Amino acid sequence: MIWYFKSNAIIKIMIAKDVTDDLNYFADKKKAKLLSGFFKTGKGEYGEGDIFIGIVVPNQRIVAKKYKELALPEVQILLTSKIHEHRLTGLFILTYKFLGADEKLKKEIVNLYLKNTKNINNWDLIDLSSVEILGEYFLVNPKYKKILYKFSESKSLWEKRISIISTFTFIRNCQFEDSLKIAETLLHDKEDLIQKAVGWMLREIGKRDLKVEENFLDKHYKTMPRTMLRYAIEKFSIEKRKHYMLKTS
């Protein structure tokens, strides 16, 4: 915290170090070891080299709410940290800021998010932020949806996941077209995290309009990866699941 005097008043300014100091209070070495394994930080794994200090999400949200007025340049410092929980807490701060922001600030938050996709580099970071920021912004500013289509063709695993997960906002508003088009682009992706994400979004579409999901599956189920298909049909009846799974064997 930085303090300075202005017009006989004492002003305090939040800085990134205040956030990391508060996070350190919740750090737990045993949890850090568990999280490192769960998020695949070993050599050759998708989270290789990421560092955890062992803070559960609810505690990160507590800290993020406390510092939701943190200036964007200070959030940027959090997003470039080597420590996973610093980055996630930075993203939570952005989601809280976004909720009460005017259009100018919302655009600045979106731009900061897009600038940092290389740092939003694990599935939890994406799943807990992209819907609330990119999805919400693109829903009311559809001309920017082209960014998601660009990401769907990226070489980056994380940008591809952002592209499909962000459409969850559209799905919640019963707008399925973009989700289905991006799902088709990612249909034969070899990454497990992409297959699961696409299957998940297809399942969410089915919760709102089963016929739309079934039409997509009827067109693609014979060639789509089985992991993707299993996620998509998870809520189907046993008979219907057998119908789709047996014909792909």
Which domains does the chain carry? Answer: 1-128 (no CATH), 145-249 (1.25.10.90)
In the chain, the N- to C-terminal Cα span, in Å, equals: 60
Distance of CA 130 to the CA centre of its chain: 4
Task: Enter the DSSP assignment of 144.
Answer: G
pLDDT digits (tens, 9 = 90+) for 198-228: 999 999 999 999 999 999 999 999 999 999 9
Q: In sequence order, what DSSP letters do the residues of 86-103 get, joined into one string? A: HHHHHHHHHHHHHHT--H
pTM above 0.85, yes or no: yes
Q: Which residues pair with 4 in a beta bridge?
A: 11
CA dist 138 and 170 (Å) reads 9
The answer to whether 111 touches 92, Cβ cutoff 8 Å, is no
State pLDDT tens for residues 149-208: 999 999 999 999 999 999 999 999 999 999 999 999 999 999 999 999 999 999 999 999
Amino acid 13: pLDDT: 75
Distance (Å, rounded) from C-alpha 169 to C-alpha 138? 9
